[in-house]
């Protein structure tokens, strides 16, 4: 059976505000780098720049939904994207 393609994404939390229900940070994978803003109360995710955004946005959203309350500012995290960049 063939292995599924996978890329490890690195995430760093830069800012977190429970009063604003907001998480901001940086994510990188496969030579791409993005900044993100996750409004977890509304489930809204914005990722910039647009170059390569389609590669990371869905996987990042799934990761954040699963662990957003466990993340801390200044923390470095990793998750797997089921695609090769």
Residue 16 inside a domain? The answer is: yes
Question: Per the domain annotation, does 59 fall within a domain?
Answer: no
* pLDDT confidence tier of residue 69, bands split at 50, 70 and 90: confident
15 in any annotated domain: yes
Domain membership of residue 72 (yes or no) is no
Three-state DSSP class for residue 67:
helix
Structure confidence at residue 4 (pLDDT):
81
CA pseudo-torsion sign 22, 56, 30, 81: positive
58 within a domain of the structure (yes/no) = no
Whether 40 is covered by a domain: the verdict is: yes
pLDDT at residue 41 is higher than 90: no
Tally of domains within the chain: 1
Residue 68 has a pLDDT of 83
Instruction: Judge whether 3 lies within some domain.
Output: no
C-alpha span between 31 and 40 (Å, rounded): 27
Residue 56 has pLDDT above 90, yes or no: yes
Question: What integer pLDDT is reported at residue 1 of this predicted model?
Answer: 66
Domain hosting 31: range is: 10-51
pLDDT of 50 over the 70 cut: yes
Preceding amide of 3 cis, omega within 30: no
């Amino acid at each position: 059976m063939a292995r599924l393609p996978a890329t490890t994404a690195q995430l760093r939390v830069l800012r977190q505000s429970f009063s604003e229900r907001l998480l901001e940070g940086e994510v990188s994978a496969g030579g791409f780098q993005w900044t993100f803003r996750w409004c977890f109360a509304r489930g809204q995710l914005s990722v910039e720049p647009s170059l390569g955004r389609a590669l990371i946005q869905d996987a990042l959203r799934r990761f954040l939904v699963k662990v957003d309350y466990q993340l801390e500012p200044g923390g470095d995290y990793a998750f797997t994207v089921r695609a090769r960049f």
